[in-house]
Chain A
């Protein structure tokens, strides 16, 4: 892999380097995707820009922007740090569960949340979990910094709206006023070291027995991680999580999915499993919100 290794000392330096050499560069965070890509000759950049140690882009914390409170997760926070974050265990458990389900401890100690999202595999575990938390992606580039709702971030398998000179800085998760339960359910042949055949993220806010708000997101069953908007609408209109409403929403989600046949599973099987897993994820999220 003949490339030039570059390690900018600060975010500003990194952006400056990319402004000039972006199209010939790849960003190195944890390396657990990029190194494999380069070995498989799917990437042969002239420069590998190591941003893995930019501590300014790492960490899970509460922040305030104007009147809105957020949980901010830096793009270079390792998946292991996401998995074990006390803050996320309390306020974003689905994301912590998704992180815990990814590969192995060894991979999670290097892989980053930003890297998992930017690699943009349709089956990326952290994507459905972030989507149901209404996460926004903060992106820095030559034109400045922008905030993009995560459901607009993915363009296709392995493709995002990031330009060659952009750096994903991190994620902002709005902190809701009502108690919100969230979960991530991963359906795969093995309990570890597998890509999801179906991945489901769900979040529910319930107040006084009434379903205030619902989010449902699916991974590995469409060209990109996706929100199941029609399923959400079913539950919103039902106003409660009766077995009937859950069954109807899960069935709707299965219809919204666009799975393909591939080496891991058939489209038919994936669609059936969306229905099962969506219902289970919603039930679990509801239990979380009642805690």
Chain B
């Protein structure tokens, strides 16, 4: 028994038909074709499905589509609407923070959520903000370097 919901996705009003049990991650990937958001675990443990929902980083695999009715969603695609890279994406590339790239959309959005709220995170604040995003490739060192490069504080060490 399907129903309609309305969301704002990357600044555009979208209307989609969803099943009651459908999750936001599947609405984004399957109904809207926005496959930048990844499915890594389906249990809210890896952060690959991270999107911004009303400005806050959430695991889209744990949000029912219906519960997102009326919300303002930003996916990784929303960071570079005209094709030009967002400063966070640029910093990740410059610092070598991307290997297979699977965790990257989630990492970038978690970073955006952090820096939107706190432009000069301490080392501890940065690690806490990214604790919900797992990377199997980089060992996190280059990712943290990218975040530090973006931080106004320009933390060393």
Seen from chain A, the residues whose Cβ lies within 8 Å of a Cβ on chain B are 1-5, 7, 28, 30-32, 35-36, 38-39, 48, 50, 52, 80, 100, 103-107, 109-110, 191-193
CB neighbours (8 Å) of B129 from chain A are: 105
With known contacts A3-B20, A193-B132, A103–B44 Cβ distance under 8 A: yes
- The residue in chain B whose Cβ has the minimal distance to the Cβ of A3 is B20
Given known A80-B56, A106-B47, A106-B57, contact A1–B113 (CB-CB < 8 A): no
Question: Which residue of A48, A52, A105 contacts B20 across the interface (Cβ within 8 Å)?
Answer: A48
Residues of A within 8 A of B128 (CB): 100, 105, 192
Once bound together, how far apart are the Cα atoms of A48 and B23, in whole Å?
Answer: 14
Q: A2-B21, A48-B20 are in contact. Are A31 and B132 (CB under 8 A)?
A: no
Q: How far apart are the CA atoms of A80 and B108 in the complex, in Å? A: 20
Q: How far is the CA of A191 from the CA of B123 in the complex (A)?
A: 14
**Interface residue from A31, A38, A106, A193 paired with B67 (Cβ < 8 Å):** A31
Provide the residues of chain B in CB contact with A105, threshold 8 Å: 57, 110, 113, 128-129, 131-132
The CA-CA distance from A30 to B58 in the complex, in Å, is 11
21 contacts between A and B (CB under 8 A): A1-B20, A3-B21, A5-B3, A5-B66, A31-B62, A35-B62, A39-B43, A48-B20, A50-B64, A104-B44, A104-B47, A105-B110, A105-B113, A105-B129, A105-B131, A105-B132, A106-B58, A109-B57, A110-B59, A192-B128, A192-B132
Which residues in chain B, 47-67, are within 8 Å of chain A measured between CB atoms?
47, 50, 53, 56-59, 62-64, 66-67
* Chain B: CB-nearest residue to A50: B67
Query: Given contacts A106-B47, A106-B110, are A7 and B132 in contact (CB under 8 A)?
Result: no
Please report the total number of B residues contacting A with Cβ < 8 Å: 29
In the docked arrangement, what's the CA distance between A3 and B56, Å? 28
Is the beta-carbon distance between A31 and B63 smaller than 8 angstroms? yes
Give the complex CA separation of A193 and B133 in angstroms. Answer: 10
Of A2, A3, A110, chain B has the most CB atoms within 10 Å of the CB of A110
Once the chains bind, are A109 and B58 in contact (CB under 8 Å)? yes
Nearest-neighbour CB distance to chain B for A67, whole angstroms, equals: 39
CB-CB < 8 A to A31: which residues of B?
A: 62-64, 67
Assess the A36–B131 pair: CB atoms within 8 A.
no
The distance in angstroms between the C-alpha atoms of A1 and B21, with both chains bound, is: 5
Q: What residues of chain B lie closer than 8 Å to A36, measured between beta carbons?
A: 43-44, 62
